[in-house]
C-alpha cells in the first residue's frame, strides 16, 4: 500500500488537487494516513487560534474617509499651470484637456473656486491661485461658448434657395468639437444633466456641420436652422455664455478689490 | 443589489472617481485581514490598507479583468506589505508585541483580567509561538500560506496574485505548512 505523501495530505486538507477523491478513499481505510492527517489538522488549528484585531462593519467607510483627501490630491493634474500656459499657444486640445479637468468645480458645478493644489501653501496664496485658475477657466469656457454662438448665428441667418458655401463655419465647427466633447464629458461626470444635454445638442450639430460638404444644400441649411432656432439651441448657448461672462466679471471685480486692499 | 466589482471599476475608469468608494467599502476588511496576517502589526496593516487603495486608484486603468478585482487588489496588498516589511528595519522598530518589555506588560495586564491565569498564560504562549513560526517563513511562503489558509484562495489564484506558476505557488504553500508543522506540532500535541 502506498501511503499519502505530506504534500498530498496538505492538498487534501485544503481540498485541492486532482486526486482528492482517491486520497480521501485511501485515508478512510488507512489508519496511519488518518493519524497523520489529524496531526496536520491539529497543528494548523493552532494557527487559526492567533487573534486578529476586529474591524467592524463601518470599517470600509472609515478607510474611505481617510483615503478621500489623498485621492482628491491625486486628481489634481500635476503641473496644471504649464499645461494651461502651453494651451495658450496650442489652443485646441491642450487647452481643452487642462480646462476639462478643472471645469468640474469652477464652471459646470457652479462653484466659485477649485480644490487647492496638493502642495502645502498659505491660505492667502491658495486663494489667489484659486482665483487665478477660475479666471482662466471662465475665459476659456466663455470663449468657447461665444465662438459657438457666433457660428450658430451665422448658420441661422443663411438664406437662399440653392446651395451655400459654409466652409468657414465648417472649419470653426471642426475646431470647436474636441473642446465641446471634453466639457460635455466633464458635465456628465459631475452629474450636471442640464448642461450636458445642451452641450450634447451643440456637439451633435457641430459634428454634422464639420462633416458636411463645404457647399451645404438648402435642405441641410433648413435642418440646421431648425435645430438652432426651433429647438432653442442658440438661446440656450447664449444664456449659458451670459452666465459665464457674468461670473467672469465677478471674478475680475473680486480680484481688483483684493488688489486694492 | 450591489453593482459588481467590474461594473464599479468601469465607472471609475470612465472618470466617476467617487464610485471608487464602493470598492473601498467592500474590500477594506479583507485587505486589512490579509495585511495584518502578513505584517503582524495592526498599525502596519492600516498603513498597507491605505497604500493598497491609493495604488489601486492610481493603477485602475491597467486592470483588465483577467482576474477578479479582489485578486488584483490582493496582489497590490501583498506587494505593499512586502515593501513595508523590507523598509521596517531601516525605519526603526515600531513599538509592538515583539518588544520583550511590552510583551511582559501585555501578559501581566491580560493575566490580571483572566479568570484562569494559567490558561491565559498558555494561550498567550501559543499565540507567541504562532507569531514566531509565521515570522520564520519567507515573504512568499507567508503570503501563499495566508491566502490559502485564511482567505481561501485556490492555489491557482495564489499563483496569479504572486505572479508565480501554479506549481511554484503550490510548493510555497507546501514549504510554509511544513515549517509551521515543525514549529507548532509540539504545542498541538499538548493541546490534544
Over the stretch A150-182, which tens digit does the pLDDT of each residue have? 999 888 887 766 788 888 888 899 888 877 887
- Set of cell numbers at residue A186: 466633464
Residues of chain A above pLDDT 90, percent: 18
Please compute the mean of the pLDDT values over residues A204-228 and round it to a whole number.
Answer: 88
Q: Is residue B143 part of a domain?
A: no
pLDDT confidence of A95, banded at 50, 70, 90? very low
Please compute the mean of the pLDDT values over residues A32-56 and round it to a whole number.
Answer: 89
Question: With b meaning 16 or more CB within 10 Å and e meaning fewer, what string describes A137-150?
Answer: bbbbbbebbebbbe
Q: Is residue B122 part of a domain?
A: no
**Residue A45 to residue B31: CA distance in whole angstroms:** 22
**Residue B139 to residue B176: CA distance in whole angstroms:** 10
Residue scoring higher pLDDT (B132 or B48): B48
- The pLDDT, as a whole number, for residue B23 is 95
**Residue B60 to residue B20: CA distance in whole angstroms:** 10
Residue scoring higher pLDDT (A106 or B76): B76
- The pLDDT, as a whole number, for residue B93 is 41
Q: Is A113 helix (H, G, I), strand (E, B) or coil?
A: coil
Whether the predicted pLDDT of A55 surpasses 90 = yes
Residues B155-177 have pLDDT tens digits of 999 999 999 999 999 999 999 99
pLDDT confidence of A137, banded at 50, 70, 90? low
- The pLDDT, as a whole number, for residue B17 is 81
**Residue B55 to residue B23: CA distance in whole angstroms:** 13
Q: Looking at residue B52, which CATH number applies to its domain? A: 1.10.1740.10
pLDDT confidence of A75, banded at 50, 70, 90? low
**Residue B178 to residue A39: CA distance in whole angstroms:** 12
Residue scoring higher pLDDT (A178 or A189): A178
**Residue A143 to residue B17: CA distance in whole angstroms:** 28
- The pLDDT, as a whole number, for residue B92 is 42
Identify the bridge partners of residue A215 per DSSP, sorted by sequence position: A165
Kindly list the distances between the CA atom of residue B171 and the CA atoms of A16, A22, A152, A244, B165, in Å, as whole numbers in the listed order: 13, 21, 70, 65, 10
Task: Say yes or no for a CB contact (<8 Å) between A43 and B42.
Answer: no
Whether the predicted pLDDT of B89 surpasses 90 = no
Q: Is B41 helix (H, G, I), strand (E, B) or coil?
A: coil
Whether the predicted pLDDT of A72 surpasses 50 = yes
- The pLDDT, as a whole number, for residue A105 is 41
Closest alpha carbon within chain B to A10? B174
DSSP B4: P
- The pLDDT, as a whole number, for residue B121 is 62
Q: Is residue B151 part of a domain?
A: no
Task: Say yes or no for a CB contact (<8 Å) between A43 and B185.
Answer: yes
Q: Distance (Å) from the C-alpha of residue A221 to the closest C-alpha of chain B? A: 36
Whether the predicted pLDDT of B98 surpasses 70 = no
Q: Is residue B111 part of a domain?
A: no
Domain count, chain B: 1
Mean pLDDT over each residue of chain A, to the nearest integer? 75
Least confident among A113-127, A243-257, B16-30, B55-69: A113-127
Whether the predicted pLDDT of B76 surpasses 90 = yes
Of A7, A64, A189, the CB nearest to B21: A64
Closest alpha carbon within chain A to B21? A64
Task: Say yes or no for a CB contact (<8 Å) between B28 and A50.
Answer: no
Whether the predicted pLDDT of B94 surpasses 70 = no
Residue scoring higher pLDDT (A88 or B24): B24
Residues B37-63 have pLDDT tens digits of 999 889 999 999 999 999 999 899 888
Give residue for cell 478607510.
A63
Of B25, B32, B127, the CB nearest to A51: B127
**Residue A26 to residue A38: CA distance in whole angstroms:** 14
Range of the structural domain that residue B68 is part of: 1-94
Please compute the mean of the pLDDT values over residues A37-46 and round it to a whole number.
Answer: 89
- The pLDDT, as a whole number, for residue A73 is 72
Kindly list the distances between the CA atom of residue A142 and the CA atoms of A136, A155, A207, in Å, as whole numbers in the listed order: 10, 20, 20
Identify the bridge partners of residue A165 per DSSP, sorted by sequence position: A215
Q: Is residue B77 part of a domain?
A: yes
For chain A positions 26-45, those within 8 Å of chain B (CB to CB) are: 39-40, 42-45
Amino acid at each position: 500500500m502506498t501511503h499519502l505523501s505530506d504534500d498530498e495530505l496538505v492538498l487534501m486538507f485544503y481540498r485541492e488537487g486532482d486526486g482528492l477523491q482517491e486520497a480521501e478513499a485511501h485515508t478512510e481505510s488507512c489508519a496511519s494516513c488518518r493519524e497523520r492527517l489529524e496531526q496536520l489538522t491539529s497543528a494548523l488549528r493552532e494557527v487559526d487560534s492567533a487573534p486578529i484585531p476586529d474591524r467592524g462593519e463601518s470599517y470600509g467607510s472609515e478607510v474611505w474617509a481617510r483615503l478621500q483627501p489623498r485621492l482628491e490630491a491625486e486628481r489634481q493634474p500635476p503641473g496644471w499651470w504649464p499645461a494651461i500656459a502651453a494651451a495658450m499657444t496650442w489652443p485646441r486640445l491642450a487647452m481643452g484637456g487642462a480646462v476639462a479637468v478643472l471645469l468640474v468645480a469652477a464652471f459646470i458645478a457652479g462653484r466659485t473656486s477649485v480644490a487647492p493644489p496638493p502642495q502645502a501653501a498659505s491660505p492667502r496664496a491658495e486663494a489667489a491661485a484659486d482665483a487665478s485658475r477660475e479666471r482662466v477657466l471662465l475665459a476659456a469656457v466663455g470663449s468657447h461658448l461665444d465662438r459657438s454662438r457666433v457660428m450658430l448665428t451665422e448658420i441661422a441667418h443663411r438664406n437662399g434657395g440653392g446651395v451655400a458655401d459654409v466652409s468657414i463655419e465648417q472649419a470653426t465647427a471642426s475646431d470647436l468639437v474636441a473642446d465641446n466633447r471634453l466639457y460635455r464629458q466633464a458635465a456628465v461626470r459631475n452629474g450636471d444633466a442640464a448642461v450636458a444635454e445642451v452641450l450634447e445638442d451643440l456637439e451633435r450639430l457641430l459634428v454634422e456641420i464639420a462633416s458636411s460638404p463645404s457647399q451645404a444644400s438648402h435642405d441641410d441649411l433648413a435642418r440646421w436652422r431648425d435645430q438652432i432656432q426651433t429647438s432653442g439651441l442658440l438661446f440656450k448657448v447664449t444664456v449659458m455664455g451670459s452666465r459665464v461672462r457674468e461670473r467672469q466679471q465677478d471674478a475680475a471685480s473680486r480680484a481688483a478689490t483684493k488688489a486694492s486692499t | 443589489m450591489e453593482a459588481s466589482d467590474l461594473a464599479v471599476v468601469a465607472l471609475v475608469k470612465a472618470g466617476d472617481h467617487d464610485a471608487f468608494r464602493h470598492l473601498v467599502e467592500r474590500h477594506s476588511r479583507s485587505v486589512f485581514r490579509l495585511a495584518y496576517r502578513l505584517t503582524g502589526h495592526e498599525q502596519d496593516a492600516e498603513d498597507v490598507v491605505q497604500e493598497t487603495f491609493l495604488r489601486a486608484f492610481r493603477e485602475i486603468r491597467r486592470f483588465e479583468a483577467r482576474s477578479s478585482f479582489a485578486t488584483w487588489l490582493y496582489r497590490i496588498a501583498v506587494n505593499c506589505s512586502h515593501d513595508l516589511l523590507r523598509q521596517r528595519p531601516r525605519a526603526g522598530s515600531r513599538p509592538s508585541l515583539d518588544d520583550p518589555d511590552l510583551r511582559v506588560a501585555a501578559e501581566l495586564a491580560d493575566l490580571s483580567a483572566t479568570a484562569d491565569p494559567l490558561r491565559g498564560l498558555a494561550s498567550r504562549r501559543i499565540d507567541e509561538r504562532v507569531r514566531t513560526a509565521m515570522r520564520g517563513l519567507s515573504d512568499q511562503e507567508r503570503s501563499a500560506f495566508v491566502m490559502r489558509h485564511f482567505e481561501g484562495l485556490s492555489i491557482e489564484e495564489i499563483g496569479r496574485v504572486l505572479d508565480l506558476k501554479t506549481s511554484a505557488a503550490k510548493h510555497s504553500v507546501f514549504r510554509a505548512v511544513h515549517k509551521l508543522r515543525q514549529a507548532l506540532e509540539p504545542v498541538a500535541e499538548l493541546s490534544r
